[in-house]
Amino acid sequence: MNAYKPPLTITDEMTVLVSEISEGIGRISVMQEGHVTPHMRRKNRIRTIHSSLAIENNTLTIDQVTAIIDGKRVLGNPNEIREVRNAYEAYELMLELDPLSVDDLLKAHGLMMAGLIPENGKFRTRGVGVFNGQKVVHMAPPAEFVPGQIRDLIAWYKKSRLHPLIKSSVFHYEFEFIHPFADGNGRMGRMWHTLLLGNWKDLFFWLPIEDLIQSRQKEYYDALNKANSLADSSCFVELMLEIIRDSLKEMSVAGNITDQVNDQDTDQVDGPVRRLLMAIGDETLPASEIMKRLGLSHRPTFRKNYLNPALEANLIERTIPDKPNSSKQKYRKTR
Protein backbone atom coordinates (compact mmCIF):
# COMPACT_ATOMS: atom_id res chain seq x y z
CA MET A 1 0.00 0.00 0.00
CA ASN A 2 1.40 3.42 -1.01
CA ALA A 3 2.07 6.01 1.70
CA TYR A 4 -0.39 8.88 1.93
CA LYS A 5 0.82 11.92 -0.02
CA PRO A 6 -1.30 15.10 -0.18
CA PRO A 7 -1.54 16.65 -3.67
CA LEU A 8 0.79 19.65 -3.74
CA THR A 9 2.89 21.49 -6.30
CA ILE A 10 5.78 23.45 -4.78
CA THR A 11 5.88 26.89 -6.43
CA ASP A 12 8.47 29.66 -6.62
CA GLU A 13 6.03 31.90 -4.73
CA MET A 14 6.07 29.50 -1.77
CA THR A 15 9.87 29.62 -1.69
CA VAL A 16 9.86 33.43 -1.67
CA LEU A 17 7.19 33.60 1.04
CA VAL A 18 8.99 31.09 3.28
CA SER A 19 12.12 33.21 3.00
CA GLU A 20 10.21 36.41 3.87
CA ILE A 21 8.53 34.71 6.83
CA SER A 22 11.86 33.40 8.11
CA GLU A 23 13.29 36.92 7.97
CA GLY A 24 10.25 38.21 9.86
CA ILE A 25 10.65 35.57 12.55
CA GLY A 26 14.28 36.57 12.95
CA ARG A 27 13.43 40.26 13.35
CA ILE A 28 10.70 39.59 15.88
CA SER A 29 12.83 37.15 17.87
CA VAL A 30 15.45 39.88 18.35
CA MET A 31 13.02 42.78 18.77
CA GLN A 32 10.63 41.12 21.19
CA GLU A 33 13.03 39.20 23.41
CA GLY A 34 11.65 39.87 26.87
CA HIS A 35 8.84 42.05 25.47
CA VAL A 36 6.09 39.49 24.79
CA THR A 37 4.26 40.34 27.99
CA PRO A 38 1.33 38.38 29.45
CA HIS A 39 -0.81 41.41 28.58
CA MET A 40 0.19 41.23 24.90
CA ARG A 41 -0.29 37.47 24.78
CA ARG A 42 -3.75 37.76 26.29
CA LYS A 43 -4.80 40.47 23.85
CA ASN A 44 -3.60 38.41 20.90
CA ARG A 45 -5.37 35.32 22.24
CA ILE A 46 -8.64 37.30 22.48
CA ARG A 47 -8.18 38.60 18.93
CA THR A 48 -7.59 35.04 17.73
CA ILE A 49 -10.74 33.70 19.38
CA HIS A 50 -12.90 36.62 18.24
CA SER A 51 -11.72 36.36 14.62
CA SER A 52 -11.95 32.58 14.34
CA LEU A 53 -15.50 32.58 15.71
CA ALA A 54 -16.49 35.59 13.58
CA ILE A 55 -15.52 33.55 10.51
CA GLU A 56 -18.11 31.02 11.72
CA ASN A 57 -20.75 33.81 11.91
CA ASN A 58 -20.48 34.50 15.64
CA THR A 59 -21.76 38.10 15.96
CA LEU A 60 -20.21 39.07 19.31
CA THR A 61 -17.85 42.06 19.24
CA ILE A 62 -14.29 41.89 20.49
CA ASP A 63 -15.34 43.94 23.54
CA GLN A 64 -18.04 41.37 24.31
CA VAL A 65 -15.58 38.51 23.82
CA THR A 66 -13.16 40.23 26.21
CA ALA A 67 -15.91 40.70 28.80
CA ILE A 68 -16.95 37.04 28.58
CA ILE A 69 -13.36 35.89 29.08
CA ASP A 70 -13.12 38.29 32.04
CA GLY A 71 -16.12 36.52 33.60
CA LYS A 72 -18.49 39.44 33.13
CA ARG A 73 -22.13 39.13 32.22
CA VAL A 74 -22.84 39.80 28.55
CA LEU A 75 -26.21 40.01 26.83
CA GLY A 76 -26.15 37.93 23.68
CA ASN A 77 -27.00 34.67 22.01
CA PRO A 78 -26.32 31.92 24.61
CA ASN A 79 -24.75 29.63 21.99
CA GLU A 80 -22.41 32.39 20.83
CA ILE A 81 -21.39 33.09 24.43
CA ARG A 82 -20.79 29.35 24.91
CA GLU A 83 -18.65 29.30 21.76
CA VAL A 84 -16.39 31.99 23.25
CA ARG A 85 -16.00 30.21 26.58
CA ASN A 86 -15.32 26.90 24.86
CA ALA A 87 -12.76 28.39 22.46
CA TYR A 88 -10.93 30.14 25.29
CA GLU A 89 -10.76 26.88 27.27
CA ALA A 90 -9.47 24.99 24.22
CA TYR A 91 -6.82 27.61 23.38
CA GLU A 92 -5.69 27.82 27.00
CA LEU A 93 -4.90 24.10 26.79
CA MET A 94 -2.86 24.56 23.64
CA LEU A 95 0.58 24.45 25.27
CA GLU A 96 -0.24 21.01 26.66
CA LEU A 97 -1.53 19.52 23.39
CA ASP A 98 0.44 17.34 20.98
CA PRO A 99 -0.60 18.32 17.43
CA LEU A 100 0.34 14.82 16.20
CA SER A 101 -1.92 13.01 18.68
CA VAL A 102 -5.38 11.87 17.57
CA ASP A 103 -6.43 11.68 21.22
CA ASP A 104 -5.44 15.31 21.79
CA LEU A 105 -7.30 16.36 18.65
CA LEU A 106 -10.46 14.73 19.93
CA LYS A 107 -9.89 16.20 23.40
CA ALA A 108 -9.58 19.72 21.99
CA HIS A 109 -12.69 19.28 19.85
CA GLY A 110 -14.52 18.05 22.94
CA LEU A 111 -13.74 21.33 24.67
CA MET A 112 -14.35 23.51 21.61
CA MET A 113 -17.81 22.11 20.91
CA ALA A 114 -19.02 21.16 24.44
CA GLY A 115 -22.72 21.86 24.80
CA LEU A 116 -22.99 22.88 21.14
CA ILE A 117 -23.27 19.50 19.39
CA PRO A 118 -23.91 15.99 20.74
CA GLU A 119 -20.84 14.55 18.96
CA ASN A 120 -18.26 16.80 20.58
CA GLY A 121 -14.93 15.05 20.98
CA LYS A 122 -15.84 12.37 18.43
CA PHE A 123 -15.30 11.93 14.71
CA ARG A 124 -18.48 12.31 12.68
CA THR A 125 -20.64 9.27 12.03
CA ARG A 126 -22.48 10.55 8.97
CA GLY A 127 -21.81 12.28 5.68
CA VAL A 128 -21.41 16.06 5.59
CA GLY A 129 -21.09 18.68 2.90
CA VAL A 130 -20.05 22.32 2.72
CA PHE A 131 -22.74 24.54 1.26
CA ASN A 132 -22.85 28.02 -0.24
CA GLY A 133 -26.53 28.76 0.12
CA GLN A 134 -28.26 25.79 -1.54
CA LYS A 135 -25.18 24.84 -3.59
CA VAL A 136 -22.85 22.06 -2.44
CA VAL A 137 -19.25 23.29 -2.80
CA HIS A 138 -17.61 20.28 -1.15
CA MET A 139 -18.82 16.83 -0.21
CA ALA A 140 -16.54 15.38 2.46
CA PRO A 141 -15.31 11.76 2.31
CA PRO A 142 -17.60 9.10 3.85
CA ALA A 143 -17.57 9.00 7.65
CA GLU A 144 -16.11 5.49 7.86
CA PHE A 145 -12.88 6.72 6.21
CA VAL A 146 -12.33 9.65 8.58
CA PRO A 147 -10.31 7.98 11.40
CA GLY A 148 -7.93 6.36 8.93
CA GLN A 149 -7.52 9.54 6.89
CA ILE A 150 -6.66 11.59 9.97
CA ARG A 151 -4.13 8.97 11.08
CA ASP A 152 -2.62 8.95 7.58
CA LEU A 153 -2.43 12.76 7.54
CA ILE A 154 -0.62 12.83 10.88
CA ALA A 155 1.75 10.05 9.76
CA TRP A 156 2.52 12.04 6.60
CA TYR A 157 3.23 15.16 8.64
CA LYS A 158 5.64 13.28 10.89
CA LYS A 159 7.61 11.91 7.94
CA SER A 160 7.43 14.84 5.53
CA ARG A 161 10.64 16.79 4.98
CA LEU A 162 8.77 19.83 3.68
CA HIS A 163 9.35 23.12 5.52
CA PRO A 164 7.02 23.37 8.57
CA LEU A 165 5.47 26.53 7.12
CA ILE A 166 4.42 24.65 4.01
CA LYS A 167 3.42 21.33 5.51
CA SER A 168 1.37 22.95 8.31
CA SER A 169 -0.60 24.80 5.61
CA VAL A 170 -1.06 21.54 3.69
CA PHE A 171 -2.29 19.92 6.93
CA HIS A 172 -4.79 22.79 7.36
CA TYR A 173 -6.15 22.24 3.84
CA GLU A 174 -6.31 18.45 4.13
CA PHE A 175 -8.04 18.72 7.51
CA GLU A 176 -10.75 20.90 5.99
CA PHE A 177 -11.06 18.53 3.02
CA ILE A 178 -11.56 15.51 5.32
CA HIS A 179 -13.97 17.50 7.49
CA PRO A 180 -13.58 15.02 10.36
CA PHE A 181 -16.26 16.42 12.67
CA ALA A 182 -20.00 16.98 12.48
CA ASP A 183 -19.33 20.67 13.23
CA GLY A 184 -16.44 22.88 14.32
CA ASN A 185 -14.07 21.88 11.50
CA GLY A 186 -13.14 25.43 10.54
CA ARG A 187 -12.21 26.62 14.03
CA MET A 188 -10.42 23.33 14.78
CA GLY A 189 -8.46 23.45 11.52
CA ARG A 190 -7.26 26.98 12.23
CA MET A 191 -6.40 26.14 15.84
CA TRP A 192 -4.48 23.02 14.80
CA HIS A 193 -2.53 24.99 12.18
CA THR A 194 -1.48 27.40 14.94
CA LEU A 195 -0.57 24.47 17.20
CA LEU A 196 1.63 22.89 14.52
CA LEU A 197 3.42 26.20 13.94
CA GLY A 198 3.73 26.86 17.68
CA ASN A 199 5.47 23.55 18.16
CA TRP A 200 7.97 24.71 15.53
CA LYS A 201 8.43 28.30 16.80
CA ASP A 202 6.90 29.44 20.11
CA LEU A 203 5.93 32.89 18.85
CA PHE A 204 3.17 31.34 16.72
CA PHE A 205 1.26 30.42 19.87
CA TRP A 206 0.62 34.17 20.30
CA LEU A 207 0.38 35.30 16.67
CA PRO A 208 -3.28 36.08 15.80
CA ILE A 209 -3.21 34.64 12.27
CA GLU A 210 -6.98 34.20 12.46
CA ASP A 211 -7.36 37.99 12.55
CA LEU A 212 -5.99 38.32 9.03
CA ILE A 213 -7.82 35.22 7.83
CA GLN A 214 -11.03 36.97 8.84
CA SER A 215 -10.03 40.12 6.94
CA ARG A 216 -9.45 37.92 3.85
CA GLN A 217 -12.31 35.53 4.52
CA LYS A 218 -13.62 35.38 0.95
CA GLU A 219 -10.12 34.66 -0.39
CA TYR A 220 -9.73 31.97 2.28
CA TYR A 221 -12.86 30.11 1.21
CA ASP A 222 -12.19 30.71 -2.48
CA ALA A 223 -8.71 29.18 -2.09
CA LEU A 224 -10.16 26.12 -0.33
CA ASN A 225 -12.70 25.65 -3.12
CA LYS A 226 -10.13 26.21 -5.88
CA ALA A 227 -7.77 23.69 -4.27
CA ASN A 228 -10.64 21.18 -4.17
CA SER A 229 -11.45 21.70 -7.84
CA LEU A 230 -7.79 21.44 -8.91
CA ALA A 231 -6.97 18.57 -6.53
CA ASP A 232 -3.88 20.56 -5.57
CA SER A 233 -3.51 22.61 -2.36
CA SER A 234 -0.86 25.00 -3.75
CA CYS A 235 -3.15 28.03 -4.02
CA PHE A 236 -4.34 27.58 -0.44
CA VAL A 237 -0.78 27.12 0.84
CA GLU A 238 0.33 30.32 -0.90
CA LEU A 239 -2.55 32.27 0.65
CA MET A 240 -1.79 30.96 4.15
CA LEU A 241 1.90 31.85 3.74
CA GLU A 242 0.90 35.38 2.70
CA ILE A 243 -1.33 35.66 5.77
CA ILE A 244 1.44 34.38 8.08
CA ARG A 245 3.91 36.84 6.55
CA ASP A 246 1.49 39.74 6.98
CA SER A 247 0.67 38.69 10.57
CA LEU A 248 4.38 38.83 11.37
CA LYS A 249 4.57 42.30 9.83
CA GLU A 250 1.71 43.40 12.09
CA MET A 251 3.51 41.93 15.08
CA SER A 252 6.66 43.85 14.14
CA VAL A 253 4.65 47.07 13.94
CA ALA A 254 3.11 46.36 17.33
CA GLY A 255 6.52 45.71 18.84
CA ASN A 256 7.90 48.97 17.49
CA ILE A 257 4.85 50.86 18.72
CA THR A 258 5.08 49.32 22.18
CA ASP A 259 8.52 50.89 22.48
CA GLN A 260 6.95 54.29 21.76
CA VAL A 261 3.96 54.21 24.12
CA ASN A 262 3.50 53.27 27.74
CA ASP A 263 1.45 50.35 29.05
CA GLN A 264 -1.69 52.44 29.50
CA ASP A 265 -1.68 53.34 25.82
CA THR A 266 -1.00 49.94 24.24
CA ASP A 267 -4.71 49.27 23.68
CA GLN A 268 -4.61 52.08 21.14
CA VAL A 269 -2.60 49.94 18.70
CA ASP A 270 -5.26 47.26 18.35
CA GLY A 271 -7.36 46.64 15.25
CA PRO A 272 -7.79 49.61 12.89
CA VAL A 273 -4.82 51.63 14.17
CA ARG A 274 -2.52 48.63 13.89
CA ARG A 275 -3.63 48.09 10.29
CA LEU A 276 -3.19 51.77 9.45
CA LEU A 277 0.39 51.74 10.74
CA MET A 278 1.10 48.59 8.78
CA ALA A 279 -0.33 50.22 5.62
CA ILE A 280 1.89 53.29 6.05
CA GLY A 281 5.04 51.33 6.84
CA ASP A 282 8.09 53.59 6.48
CA GLU A 283 6.50 55.76 3.78
CA THR A 284 4.86 59.19 3.76
CA LEU A 285 1.42 58.91 2.17
CA PRO A 286 -1.74 60.93 1.44
CA ALA A 287 -4.99 59.79 3.04
CA SER A 288 -6.29 58.51 -0.31
CA GLU A 289 -3.40 56.07 -0.70
CA ILE A 290 -3.70 54.83 2.90
CA MET A 291 -7.42 54.23 2.37
CA LYS A 292 -6.66 52.35 -0.86
CA ARG A 293 -4.17 50.09 0.94
CA LEU A 294 -6.71 49.42 3.69
CA GLY A 295 -9.47 48.66 1.17
CA LEU A 296 -11.63 51.52 2.48
CA SER A 297 -13.84 53.88 0.50
CA HIS A 298 -15.81 55.71 3.20
CA ARG A 299 -13.72 58.67 4.37
CA PRO A 300 -15.67 59.44 7.59
CA THR A 301 -15.17 55.84 8.79
CA PHE A 302 -11.48 56.05 7.91
CA ARG A 303 -11.06 59.26 9.91
CA LYS A 304 -13.10 58.12 12.91
CA ASN A 305 -11.69 54.59 13.33
CA TYR A 306 -8.22 54.80 11.83
CA LEU A 307 -6.73 58.23 11.25
CA ASN A 308 -7.89 60.26 14.25
CA PRO A 309 -7.09 57.60 16.89
CA ALA A 310 -3.57 57.23 15.46
CA LEU A 311 -3.07 61.01 15.47
CA GLU A 312 -4.42 61.33 19.02
CA ALA A 313 -2.07 58.59 20.22
CA ASN A 314 0.81 60.45 18.55
CA LEU A 315 1.66 57.37 16.49
CA ILE A 316 1.49 59.25 13.21
CA GLU A 317 2.02 62.89 12.26
CA ARG A 318 0.95 65.29 9.52
CA THR A 319 3.55 66.63 7.09
CA ILE A 320 1.76 70.02 7.17
CA PRO A 321 0.71 70.23 10.84
CA ASP A 322 -0.40 73.89 10.73
CA LYS A 323 -2.81 73.16 7.83
CA PRO A 324 -4.58 69.90 8.77
CA ASN A 325 -7.09 70.19 5.90
CA SER A 326 -4.55 70.94 3.19
CA SER A 327 -5.10 69.08 -0.10
CA LYS A 328 -1.37 68.33 -0.06
CA GLN A 329 -1.50 66.78 3.42
CA LYS A 330 0.37 63.51 3.96
CA TYR A 331 0.97 61.24 6.96
CA ARG A 332 3.92 59.29 8.32
CA LYS A 333 4.81 57.47 11.51
CA THR A 334 5.89 59.81 14.27
CA ARG A 335 9.62 60.30 14.22
Question: How confident is the model over 78-104, as pLDDT tens digits?
Answer: 999 999 999 999 999 999 999 999 999
Inter-axis angle of helices 234-258 and 271-280, to 10 degrees? Answer: 100
Find the mean pLDDT for residues 9-23: 95
pLDDT at 263: 41
Examine the pLDDT at 2 and tell me if it is beyond 70.
no
Query: Based on the domain organization, do 303 and 239 belong to the same domain?
Result: no
Is position 28 within any domain? yes
Q: Contact 46/66 with Cβ under 8 angstroms?
A: yes
The per-residue pLDDT for 248 is 86
302 CB contacts (<8 Å, ≥6 apart)? 287, 290, 291, 294, 296
7, part of any domain: no
Task: Provide long-range contacts, Cβ within 8 A and 24+ apart, for 9-16.
Answer: 9/232, 9/234, 10/166, 10/234, 11/234, 11/238, 13/238, 14/166, 14/234, 14/237, 14/238, 14/241
Number of domains in the chain: 2
Domain end call among 207, 231, 258: 258
How far apart are alpha carbons 304 and 309 in whole angstroms? 7
The CATH number given to whatever domain includes residue 140 is 1.10.3290.10
pLDDT band, residue 26 (cuts 50/70/90): confident
Domain end, chosen from 206, 234, 258, is at 258
Cα-atom radius of gyration of the chain, to the nearest Å?
Answer: 21
Residue 44's pLDDT band, with cuts at 50, 70 and 90, is confident
Q: What is the pTM of this model?
A: 0.75
Same-domain status, 54 and 184: yes
Examine the domain organization and report whether 126 and 209 are in the same domain: yes
Same domain, 243 and 274: no
1 three-state secondary structure: coil
What secondary structure letter does DSSP report for 163? -
Digit-coded pLDDT (tens) for 203-214:
898 888 888 898
Range of the domain at 291: 267-333
**Mean pLDDT for the stretch of residues 262-279:** 64
User: Does 5 map to a domain?
Assistant: no
Please tell me whether residues 92 and 45 are part of one structural domain: yes
Q: Are residues 205 and 317 in the same domain?
A: no
| Distance (Å) of CA 254 to CA 40, 71, 81, 204, 244 | 10, 27, 29, 15, 15
- State the average pLDDT for the chain: 87
* 295 part of a folded domain: yes
Largest CA distance in the chain: 75
Residue 124, pLDDT above cutoff 60: yes
- Alpha carbons within 13 A on the beta-carbon side of 231: 1
pLDDT confidence of residue 175:
97
In this structure, is residue 1 part of a structural domain? no
* Range with top average pLDDT, 14-18, 139-143, 270-274: 14-18
143-171: average pLDDT: 96
Does residue 6 lie in a domain region? Answer: no
Percent over 90 (pLDDT), the chain:
59
Same domain, 223 and 167: yes
Residue 201 has pLDDT above 70, yes or no: yes
Does residue 140 share a domain with residue 17? yes
Q: What is the pLDDT of residue 265?
A: 44
| pLDDT value, residue 330 | 95
Place 117 in a pLDDT band, splitting at 50, 70 and 90: very high
In a shared domain, residues 116 and 66: yes
